[in-house]
Structure 1
Amino acid sequence: MSSQPVPPSENSLIREKVRGYAQEQRKEGRTEAKDSLRIGLGQIKEEFAAQDNLSEKDVHGLATRIKRRKHATSEDLFRLALAFLQGVENINAFAAIPGALQVLVKELTGSDTQRQIDAAECLCNLSLGEAHVAEKISSLVGSYMVTYLDGKDGRLKRSCLWTLANILATSDKAAQQLLQMQIVPKLWKLYTGEGASNGFQEDAGICLYLISKNAAHHVNAEDREYIAHHIFSIRPEDPGSEYLMYIIHQLEIVELHSGLGTHQAECLVNFFIASLDSQADSLAVSYGVRVVANLMAINNPSLIGVLADDNIFVSALNKLFALRDPRLNMDLMRILRNFLNLNLLDSNLVLDRLQVYA
């Protein structure tokens, strides 16, 4: 089955989630790192937050100066980061200076760890620009940022994740470039337990969501197989958990059946059942129904785990019917039909116990 477009209401749900998450991160940032402030998907130093607005002329002067020196000080980077947040015209002014971006790349890839972080935060704000800017960043620095996802410095890693998220949300061409740099396996590792313990699970989940939403057609078979082999146990209360079923559905992991085993399928089913109690009326539920229906369509009872128990299946379906969500109706009928086609028990026994609300 091909990927289905995301209904406007579900797009709104994701936008609200990301917006709320960004606000929470700003609060945490002021507590945990008083010298930085996250705005949207960018960071600036607080000491520059009270400065007057920087104009395009100011940005032009800064860009020309760092280009001439082939070096940017921390103050240069902080001022540019602030300027980029003040308007897309400042971003465009910087991007129009040949060689200026290469100076930021030089600082990012240098040996000074603090300067790397400063450059990454500056690039993060620069990536809030339009598609042509995202494509420049991806082309010049995308491979470094993807590599830094394996690094140990948390602040550098987080700035790279935010930058990559901006790029993935902005340009199809840039997203395609990033997908050629092994970004999916690295993000998936951060989305699993490896990132959860260090607080990167939500950021990695957002990046994977954006790939699934905007660039699923560019994801190759090897990356899909990697995900299928490494589906993990996740709880509805875990950071970024609401993106899991959306990612699995949009990348057609179940439909392609590439490397999906009994254990991986069991993880999806268990998460789906748990999400019915804690994430009703969410992406986890609406796309979970589709994923589980596709699991049943494979016609292999071992892949549906505990749902093979008619008591658990009927209970789950009744919870879904109780939501009275008309958007789920067709998918609920499909999941019921696919379950009955498995011939696990008498169909009438199942139908008699369903509580369908008109």
Structure 2
Amino acid sequence: MYATPPHECARVSEKARPNPEAKRARHGRYAWIIAGTAALLTAVLPGATLPAAATTQHGSADRIYVADSGSDSVSVISAETEKVVKTIAVGDLPTGVAVDPPRSRAYVTNLLADTVSVINTRTEEVITTITVGDEPRNVAVDSTRARAYVVNENSDSVSVINTNTNTVVATITVGDEPWGVAVDPGRARAYVSNETSQSVSVINTDTNAVIATVPVGVNPRGLAVDPSRARVDVTNFTDDTVSVINANTNVVTATVPAGNGPFAVEEEPSRARAYVADNNQSAVSVIDTTSNEVVALIHVGNDPSGVAVDESRDRAYVTNFGDGNVSVINTKKERVVATIRVGGGPIGIALVERDSKRNR
């Protein structure tokens, strides 16, 4: 069975930062994740909710980092053996994770702590914690500009982190209840989905200014960019669709039906594919990004919440929030070939590239 969709839960109009006790009480819909055991993750729990759609990336992986929201940890998976090789403790209810390969850093958003944990991916240890806005849900990294962009849902803002100094250098106001974020370094753009505004804010990452607001579907969550096709995909959770934005014109050029409860998305540019985690049907819809048609449906675990693609290994990795595991998809055969047990309530997922040297 499925968790109550986040948009159906009561929202709080108060935008002031509450104290930790009040914040946790307000997020009573997350309490079962934090205090429960692994068995609860597969139970039917009315009123429970998934914390956030995951922002992900594609590339060539040595390690896979998974944000385990129910365990306050990051599971480190070896891409070679497809086994968990380490667990890293982070902050309260981690939801998103993104990697800065040149600096050997991973950034993890801690939703209830209002912080970002910074992990050294060489030593796989937390080296610092950064205070950001209220309820940071997701993060994306632009390595060329040494910036990490953190969406703060209850602050209606994006915190911009300098990844050389690990300090917040700017705060950008966006739409109502921002949820996901993705970057296009070549175009100097960041895209932020605004759940309640039903829009995407387009940020010029050279000026930190919002330059456009693009209307999309109802309750937009995950985003992914295919720079080669000037394409931004946005999952609309309530509409069961994906909005396709032209990155050159900031106009929606197509709307693609994509399963039940599309929650997260990732691109595979080399095959012209987008992988959509359909949270309410335990499946991944595969979209042909040249025809904008769903060409395959791959069944995974319960409540799929995040996707990462390793094009060099022909693999897609999907976090299954309800099962506490990750489904490994062979992208050539379009079927699940392995399942990896991780921590409780996995959501965010990112790849750590092979050339990120360790233990130096």
Category of TM-score, reference length = shorter chain: under 0.3
TM-score by length of 2: 0.28
Could you say which structure has the greater relative contact order, defined with CA pairs below 8 angstroms and 6 or more residues apart? 2
- Richer in strand (by share): 2
- Richer in helix (by share): 1
Question: Which of structures 1 and 2 has the bigger CA Rg?
Answer: 1
